[in-house]
Amino acid sequence: MGLELPKYPVMEEEEVVNLELEIARRVREALSSVPSLEGSRDSYNQLVGVILHSKQLGRDELALLETTLKGLAAAVSLIDLTHHESLVSAIFSMSMWNYAPHVEDALAELIVSLAVSNGKYLDLSLGMLVNNFTPPPYFLDKLGLPYGLDRKNQVLSRVHAAFKKISEYVPLAPLRLINLVIQRMPTIYHKDRAVLIYVENMLKLESGEIGEVVGNSVLMALVDRLIDLDLEIGWDAILRDDFNKGIFEMELEDEDEIVESAEQHPGEFRLSRMTLVGNSIAELLDNLLVLTFEHLESCERAGRLAKVFETLLQSFQITVMSAYKSKFTQFVMFYACALDPENCGVRFATVLADLFVQDSRPEQTRMTAVAYLASYLSRAKFLSVFFISTMLKRLVDWCLEYCKTHDGDINPNAHRVFYSGCQAIMYILCFRMKVFVDVPRLNLLLMPPLEQILKHKLNPLKVCLPSVVEEFLRQSKAASLFTVSETFIFDGLLESELSRAFGGLERLDTFFPFDPCLLKRCDRSFDEQEHDLDEFDTAMSKMSITPKNGYCYKFGGRDSTRMPSRIRPSTSPESL
Amino acid sequence: MEGLSEAEANLVVYVHPSKSRNVPQAILRELSSLLFKFKETFDGVLLAYDVNILDRQAKILSGIHPYIGLRLKAQLLLFSPKPDMLLEGKVVKLSQESIHVVILGFSSAIITAENIRQEFKYKIKDGEEMFASRSHKRHVIKVGTMIRFLVKSVDEEILHVIGSLMEAHTGSIRWLDKKSEETSEFDRSAMKSRDREWQEDKTVDEGATPLSNSNHIKKSKKRRIAED
């Protein structure tokens, strides 16, 4: 620009204003000089040079850049896409992360002015702001440091404020923005930190001023991405060793704790989270889930959770339920339910039950729904006993009706939905047997129909997963609820040919989606949710022994309805 | 305001077989996806629709997916700004270089300084930016004012209008209306006859059905002064 700035750092107010006007004038001059064929483009080139210069700017240079940007903002109508191509591309490739707050302000103002002045710049401006979601590569590592965090807050607040401003002047901008945001979502092969900060921005959009327009799309895109990551983690990364034992075991031991545990059942399966450590995708998913949980918490505080939940529910049905054995993504639903048991918690279970009983739905959907329902009702401590009993009754009623209208013999293929329903009931009761003790009336209400179902010709006891049946029978015998004349000896088998048959290709007979989360940070979030951990529980959590309670023999005795904390995933490797 | 029109359209909507369970909902979804987008067939932006299903029987389109073709009759509200039209909108931002306007709450317009007539002078009064007329003290444009302006060009993709306040009958609507009330009766009737000239016939058609009725649209000079 050919301007020599005075050497003194402090200038008089008037001088500053004069300087700004001078620079603004020169900017206009430089811009208008380009279209004309005569005359040099020196001043224009200098202008572009100022914009491009981004590394290690001295204080003077920063001041110059700031005033230049302001000058450009005022002369926006003169900027032409064809004549000033190099300038335009220089502006739109600027990264706010490189500069101090004053310059960031000026740059944001320029971008907003460009966006609203001309349709051609709208997409470019929005694109530039979306690019500013993530810092330049050299800055990624510095995000953890305090000054990195400061810079992040400065930049992101300005970026989102810019979105709001643009939306005020160009009402249709959010629609274009959301398309851009989803298009540019980093793939799973990008650096973790870049993905995380981008998702953070997306969630900020959801809760921000334009959240009403873009919120739904953001959430659905997020769940899609979570499922992508989920599916990248193969089941073989999690499972190892002989898997047949103890799907009802409550203990998940860390390698270092094994030595300390008091009793060790023979042949006990040792699964630990260690198998997932070092798996970068698992780590990324873990972090993303925790980010999502935090967002859900903030939604709950703002009173928006019910609305957000509806979107999540939709996404769950479309994406998560149709994915093959989602491992972790469903915990987003679980967490939301835990935050608001009366609304979200109840709604989730009701929707699943509705899906199960609807004849028009495909078999697989119904079986998946009831598998989720069973696992959910078993593990969710926050659900009231009354509600669980209502749900149980619904399932029992449906199964009974089915029994009455179907007179066939045992046939795992033909009655898949029925068998999955029965297995669900038994599974829930394995965890919630106490319900009958607490509410004696239930005994009268549920047991007779249940007995009818279990003793029916269709013989669910023989077809359902042996380990579930065995546990159920043992518990019901201990609770003196009912006994069966035929002895079912399974030898601790996890599964049988019949159960495999009804489970089908997808092995929905061994699908227990809310078994405790194996992702470390995620799991800890659930632990933190428990506010009323009593000493008994904490003691139990370290050992795998029998508890006081007679029935919950293998269940680690604690309030087995605790939120999932430490348990094995219950799917067998051979079947996959 | 010019640019708004109602049209009757004969449409054919193709519904995917998976949606056959709830066809009315599928139709509404399909039509809703057309909202607020510029469509060449309509030569404008669809703002609202009212639909009637003509025939309960639908034709099945043979092909890989047996789409169901449904014939509908719909009333459409269209917005098609063209150059030299007079539009009305609310000022949302004002600066020395430009006035930013939002039309009907969804379309944006900008009027740059070189398109604002000399009559208007930019000034700041009590901290508020405004354009005030030099000749008429009461004629003032500031943030929140509804103004009438001329269309210079339209970017159809994002519905961004470049406008101008050069014409004499552009400016703050409230002031302009007051002024026109004060004019003689002769002037007023002259304006009314000009309105009637704008009526024309137009049919909008989409899909495989052949052209049938020719309907005339009422050109509604609705002034949607949304005070929000």
Mark whether A159 and A206 lie in a shared domain: no
Helix ranges (H only) for chain B are 23-32, 173-182, 185-196
Of B98, B105, B159, Cβ closest to residue A77:
B98
Q: Do A171 and B102 touch (CB under 8 A)?
A: yes
Angstroms from A79 CA to nearest CA on chain B: 13
According to the model, what pLDDT value does residue A318 have? 92
Q: Is residue A392 part of a domain?
A: yes
Return mean pLDDT, chain A. 79
Last residue of a domain, one of A343, A361, A379: A361
According to the model, what pLDDT value does residue A563 have? 28
Q: Higher-confidence residue: A445 or A239?
A: A445
Q: Is residue A251 part of a domain?
A: no
Angstroms from B79 CA to nearest CA on chain A: 15
Strands B107-112 and B98-103: antiparallel
Q: DSSP character for A542?
A: T
According to the model, what pLDDT value does residue A236 have? 65
Residue A102 has pLDDT above 70, yes or no: yes
Token pair of B53, please?
């299903």
Structure confidence by residue, pLDDT tens digits, A464-505 = 888 888 888 888 888 777 666 666 666 666 778 888 888 888
Mark whether A89 and A156 lie in a shared domain: yes
Last residue of a domain, one of A516, A531, A566: A516
Closest CA to A479 of A552, A387, A424, A428: A552
Structure confidence by residue, pLDDT tens digits, B74-116 = 999 999 999 999 999 999 999 888 899 999 988 999 999 889 9
Q: Nearest residue of B to residue A121 by CA position? A: B158
Q: Is residue A301 part of a domain?
A: yes
Q: DSSP character for A406?
A: -
Mark whether A373 and A465 lie in a shared domain: yes
Mapped onto helix, strand or coil, the DSSP state of residue B27 is: helix
Structure confidence by residue, pLDDT tens digits, A389-402 = 899 999 999 999 99
The rounded distance, in Å, linking the Cα atoms of A174 and A168 is 10
Q: How far is CA A10 from CA A3, A5, A39, in A?
A: 17, 11, 36
Mark whether A484 and A384 lie in a shared domain: yes
CB A120 within 8 A of CB A127: no
Q: Which residues of A358-383 are buried (b: 16+ CB within 10 A; e: fewer)?
A: eeebeebbbbbbbbbbbbbbbbbebb
Helix axes A101-117, A119-131, angle to 10 degrees: 150
Q: Higher-confidence residue: A251 or A354?
A: A354
Q: Is residue A561 part of a domain?
A: no
Of A120, A170, A360, Cβ closest to residue B108:
A170
Angstroms from B107 CA to nearest CA on chain A: 6
Mark whether A113 and A27 lie in a shared domain: yes
Q: Is residue A576 part of a domain?
A: no
Mark whether A352 and A367 lie in a shared domain: no
Domain count, chain A: 3
The mean pLDDT of A365-384, rounded to a whole number, is 92
Residue A293 has pLDDT above 90, yes or no: yes
CB pairs under 8 A between A and B: 50
Structure confidence by residue, pLDDT tens digits, A70-84 = 888 888 888 888 888
Q: Do A171 and B160 touch (CB under 8 A)?
A: no
Q: Which residues of B touch A118 (CB under 8 A)?
A: 110, 160
The rounded distance, in Å, linking the Cα atoms of A492 and A554 is 13
Token pair of A500, please?
């495999």
The mean pLDDT of A356-374, rounded to a whole number, is 93
Token pair of B202, please?
């137009």
Confidence of residue A185 (pLDDT cuts 50, 70, 90): very high
DSSP code per residue over A205-222? HHHSTTHHHHHHHHHHHH
Confidence of residue B64 (pLDDT cuts 50, 70, 90): confident
Mark whether A18 and A144 lie in a shared domain: yes
According to the model, what pLDDT value does residue A187 have? 83
Complex ipTM, two decimals?
0.72
Q: Which residues of A touch B228 (CB under 8 A)?
A: none
Q: Nearest residue of B to residue A177 by CA position? A: B158
Of B96, B112, B158, Cβ closest to residue A172:
B158
**Domains of chain B (ranges, CATH numbers):** 4-79 (3.30.1490), 85-174 (2.40.50.140)
Residue A37 has pLDDT above 90, yes or no: no
Q: Do A169 and B108 touch (CB under 8 A)?
A: yes
Mark whether A374 and A484 lie in a shared domain: yes
B81 phi and psi angles, rounded to 5 deg: -70, 135
Q: Is residue A3 part of a domain?
A: no
According to the model, what pLDDT value does residue B193 have? 60
Residue B182 has pLDDT above 60, yes or no: yes
Residue A62 has pLDDT above 50, yes or no: yes
Of B96, B98, B157, Cβ closest to residue A117:
B98
> Which residues 6+ apart lie within 8 Å of A532 measured at CB?
none
Mark whether A353 and A488 lie in a shared domain: no
Of A141-145, A520-524, A548-552, the range with the lowest mean pLDDT is A548-552
Q: Is residue A529 part of a domain?
A: no
Listed in order, strand segments (DSSP E) in B82-167 are 86-94, 98-103, 107-112, 120-125, 128-133, 140-142, 146-155, 160-164
Of B92, B107, B110, Cβ closest to residue A117:
B110
Confidence of residue A17 (pLDDT cuts 50, 70, 90): confident
Question: What torsion do the CA atoms of B65, B70, B76, B80 make, to the nearest 10 degrees?
Answer: 40
Closest CA to A512 of A520, A521, A503: A503
Structure confidence by residue, pLDDT tens digits, A522-531 = 777 776 544 3
Confidence of residue B145 (pLDDT cuts 50, 70, 90): very high
CB atoms within 10 A of CB B21: 9
DSSP code per residue over A380-400? -TTS-HHHHHHHHHHHHHHHH
Q: Which residues of B touch A117 (CB under 8 A)?
A: 98, 110, 112
Q: Which residues of B touch A122 (CB under 8 A)?
A: 158, 160
The pTM assigned to this predicted structure is 0.78
Q: Nearest residue of A to residue B90 by CA position? A: A169
According to the model, what pLDDT value does residue A78 have? 83
Mark whether A158 and A19 lie in a shared domain: yes
Mark whether A447 and A488 lie in a shared domain: yes
Confidence of residue A158 (pLDDT cuts 50, 70, 90): very high
Residue in the structure block whose two tokens are 């850049």: A65
> Which residues 6+ apart lie within 8 Å of B20 measured at CB?
B26, B68
Q: Which residues of A touch B155 (CB under 8 A)?
A: 119-120
Confidence of residue B224 (pLDDT cuts 50, 70, 90): very low
Of B21, B100, B160, Cβ closest to residue A119:
B160
Residue A6 has pLDDT above 70, yes or no: no
Q: Is residue A547 part of a domain?
A: no
CB B97 within 8 A of CB B86: no
Measured CB to CB, residues of chain B less than 8 Å from chain A are 21, 36, 92-93, 96-98, 100, 102, 105-108, 110, 112-114, 155, 157-160
Sign of CA dihedral A502, A505, A510, A514: negative
Angstroms from B127 CA to nearest CA on chain A: 18
Structure confidence by residue, pLDDT tens digits, A559-569 = 333 323 222 33
Mark whether A214 and A163 lie in a shared domain: no
Last residue of a domain, one of A483, A516, A549: A516
Confidence of residue A33 (pLDDT cuts 50, 70, 90): confident
Residue numbers of the domain that contains A421 = 363-516
Q: Do A116 and B110 touch (CB under 8 A)?
A: yes
Q: Do B98 and A119 touch (CB under 8 A)?
A: no
The rounded distance, in Å, linking the Cα atoms of A240 and A439 is 41
